[in-house]
């Protein structure tokens, strides 16, 4: 288990005109009246602590009273765009309860809490500075995973729906040891599939705080799913192990559990199942996926040394010459998906 091979600071990559065209074609590019930079003009902030009095690295920010009304109206309009048809009648029953700013990580997002005053229900969304790596990651999650992703883009600002679930690090710490034998078997299966899915679509840095456990009741049992919530490390790093959650020390307890509750044959079966599922999704979303990969092929979202390292690692692993001849991250991703699809079709 190791994680010291992750780059200390990943640069942010601009959204190209080709990617903007893609986002508009698939209705991700939507006009909004406030940007990430606008929210940065807060007057001050108050540190937020968790139930154990530990600093969460989030600030509850506040704005000049003359600006706050306009900001609140713009944020409610964004909520309407994200969840409805953008019409303002829905905003009449909404209030912006809080705006928080994260001081940790690459994206430094704002978290907006929207409350419905009619029923007291609330939800969150995030406002971030748009980064091409993250946009590719979000789109690939939509196309190649069992999860739907809701986000919109405008003027270098990214709006993301909150993904509901129990943070991976919290679940591993507080719940994993007490899980039933049946639950451990389910979780182990899901982790194997999650691990394989991340590797195929080259989503990196899935340490335990970058994914969540989603629990849902199904007749007489609880179903478990593991979902990524951070997509900054899409096709950036060079070492292939970064794209496998199993190699991070934060996931050690999950890896240990997989070894204890699943046989080698079961693990291989779940890997094959996940490869087949990704191949089927890629084939069914062929046109849109090709459009996205073409954007990535014509984009620069990594460093030359990382491209050389990753294609070398994957060629050594698969002996597929398409990795050897790849010249950028888009071509490496295409080679990865083509490899999985060819194997699926040959079975």
Give the pair of three-digit tokens for residue 14. 């601009």
Residue whose pair of structure tokens reads 């200390």 in the numeric block: 8
Mean pLDDT of the 302-331 span: 98
**pLDDT higher than threshold 60 for residue 2:** no
Quote the CA–CA distance of 186 and 192 in Å, as a whole number. 10
Contact yes or no for 251/208 (Cβ under 8 A): yes
User: Residue 119 in contact with residue 94, Cβ under 8 Å?
Assistant: no
> Which pLDDT score, from 0 to 100, does residue 6 have?
72
pLDDT at residue 325, rounded to an integer: 97
> Is 81's pLDDT higher than 50?
yes
CA distance 113 to 103: 17
Neighbour order of strands in the sheet with 221-228: 166-167, 211-218, 221-228
pLDDT (mean) for 44-48: 96
Its pTM stands at 0.94
For residue 43 the two structure tokens come to: 């007057």
Query: pLDDT grade, residue 4 (50/70/90)?
Result: very low
Reported as a single tens digit per residue, the pLDDT across 184-202 is 999 999 999 999 999 999 9
Residue listed under structure tokens 């969304």:
125
Structure tokens at 289: 């996926």
**What beta strand segments (E) does the chain contain?**
44-49, 55-62, 94-102, 110-116, 122-129, 151-154, 157-161, 166-167, 211-218, 221-228
**Percent of the chain topping pLDDT 90:** 86
DSSP label of 118? T
Rounded distance, CA 45 to CA 329, Å? 39
**44-49: strand order across its sheet:** 44-49, 55-62, 94-102, 110-116, 122-129, 157-161, 151-154
Q: What is the pLDDT of residues 125-167, one digit of tens each?
A: 999 999 999 999 999 999 999 999 999 999 899 999 999 999 9
Position 1 pLDDT exceeds 60: no
Helix or strand holding residue 322 (H, E): helix 321-324
Residue reference for tokens 């001081």: 103
- Cα distances (angstroms) measured from residue 189 to each of 67, 249, 259: 50, 19, 11
Beta carbons of 123 and 162 less than 8 angstroms apart: yes
Domains, in order of start, for the chain: 17-161 (no CATH), 166-346 (1.10.1070)
Structure token pair of residue 233: 């490390």
Residues 317, 282: Cα–Cα separation, whole Å:
22
DSSP class of residue 42 equals -
Average pLDDT over residues 260-264: 97
């Amino acid at each position: 288990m190791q994680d010291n091979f992750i780059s200390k600071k990943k640069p942010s990559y601009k959204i190209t005109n080709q990617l903007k065209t893609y986002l508009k074609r698939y209705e991700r590019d939507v006009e909004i009246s406030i940007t990430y930079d606008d929210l940065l003009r807060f007057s001050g902030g108050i540190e937020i602590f968790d139930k154990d009095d530990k600093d969460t690295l989030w600030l509850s920010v506040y704005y000049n009273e003359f600006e706050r009304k306009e900001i609140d109206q713009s944020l409610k309009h964004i909520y309407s765009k994200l969840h409805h048809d953008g019409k303002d009648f829905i905003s009449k029953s909404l209030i912006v309860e809080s705006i928080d700013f994260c001081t940790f990580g690459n994206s430094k997002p704002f978290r907006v809490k929207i409350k419905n005053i009619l029923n007291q229900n609330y939800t969150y969304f995030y406002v971030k500075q748009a980064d091409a790596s993250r946009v590719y990651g979000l789109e690939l999650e939509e196309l190649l995973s069992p999860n739907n992703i809701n986000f919109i883009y405008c003027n270098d600002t990214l709006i993301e729906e909150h993904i509901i679930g129990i943070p991976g690090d919290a679940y591993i710490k507080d719940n994993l040891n007490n899980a039933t034998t049946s639950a451990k078997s389910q979780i182990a299966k899901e982790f194997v599939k999650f691990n394989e899915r991340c590797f195929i679509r080259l989503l990196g840095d899935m340490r335990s705080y970058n994914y969540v456990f989603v629990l849902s009741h199904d007749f007489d049992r609880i179903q478990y799913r593991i979902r990524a919530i951070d997509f900054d490390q899409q096709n950036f790093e060079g070492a292939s192990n970064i794209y496998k959650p199993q190699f991070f020390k934060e996931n050690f307890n999950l890896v240990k559990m997989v070894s204890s509750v699943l046989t080698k044959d079961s693990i291989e079966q779940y890997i094959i199942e996940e490869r087949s599922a990704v191949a089927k999704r890629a084939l069914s979303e062929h046109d849109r996926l090709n459009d996205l990969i073409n954007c990535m092929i014509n984009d620069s979202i990594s460093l030359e040394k990382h491209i050389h390292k990753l294609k070398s690692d994957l060629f050594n692993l698969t002996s597929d010459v398409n990795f050897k001849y790849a010249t950028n991250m888009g071509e490496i991703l295409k080679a990865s998906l083509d490899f999985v699809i060819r194997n699926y079709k040959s079975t």
